[in-house]
Structure formats: structure tokens, C-alpha cells
Amino acid sequence: GQQLNQSPQSMFIQEGEDVSMNCTSSSIFNTWLWYKQEPGEGPVLLIALYKAGELTSNGRLTAQFGITRKDSFLNISASIPSDVGIYFCAGQLPGTASKLTFGTGTRLQVTL
């Protein structure tokens, strides 16, 4: 099955820094979703995007649905230690109803 290209694979940042990660594909998606997974737990939905160009915020998190519908970006501002985890993007291809294609994840580490 297809997977999305997510980058970077991992990030080591200091508390207070801003973070940016992205997901790209050669295919067009109807929906982009961003999840966070903490060790040993299931992914938690952070943000859902439905329209090309859409920009949505959830607290310190901001995500955008790329205008070409082939990419998405997630930004985290003023990172804190509890932001540590793996961030996954997921996309819904046209005609696949609620089936999702997942990115390979960005592992975020925050140091004090």
C-alpha cells in the first residue's frame, strides 16, 4: 500500500523553539489528518483538514492543507516537553471513503 513521505524523520529541539514538519505525496488527497502518538499508546487526532488551502489551528498547533492537495504541513509553536512523541500525517484518497494512508512519522524530542 502507498505511504506518504513525511519529513523530517526525527527532530531534536530545545524547549521554546518552533517546529515544522510536512507530508508529501504524488497523489491528490481529499482529507489530511495529523495525529500524535506517545510511547505505548494509540495515536490521538490533533487536526483535520478538508479543503485545499485550509489553515487550521489547535492551540499551539497549526496545520495547512496544501493548495495542490498533495501535501500538508504541521507547525508547533513554543514547544514544551509534553510535545514529545511521534507525529503522523494521514490522508484520505478520493474514492476510498474513510480508509487512510499514513505517513512514516516524525519523532520529536524536546530538551530543556
Partner 1 sequence: DGGITQSPKYLFRKEGQNVTLSCEQNLNHDAMYWYRQDPGQGLRLIYYSQIVNDFQKGDIAEGYSVSREKKESFPLTVTSAQKNPTAFYLCASSTWSPLRGEQYFGPGTRLTVT
Q: Which of 42, 59, 82, 112 binds partner 1 (CB under 8 A)?
A: 42
**Looking at residue 52, what DSSP letter applies?**
T
User: Of residues 28, 44, 78, 80, which one binds partner 1 by CB under 8 A?
Assistant: 44
CB of 107 to partner 1, least distance (A): 8
Query: Using CB atoms within 10 A of its CB, is residue 57 exposed (0-12), middle (13-18) or buried (19+)?
Result: exposed
Interface with partner 1, residue 95, by CB under 8 A = yes
CB of 97 to partner 1, least distance (A): 5
Q: Does position 87 bind partner 1 by CB under 8 A? A: no
CA-CA distance, 81 to 9, in Å (whole number)?
Answer: 19
The CA-to-CA distance between both ends of the chain, in Å, stands at 39
| By the rule CB under 8 A, 41 interacts with partner 1 | yes
Binding to partner 1 by residue 46, rule CB under 8 A? no
**Residue holding cell 524547549?**
15
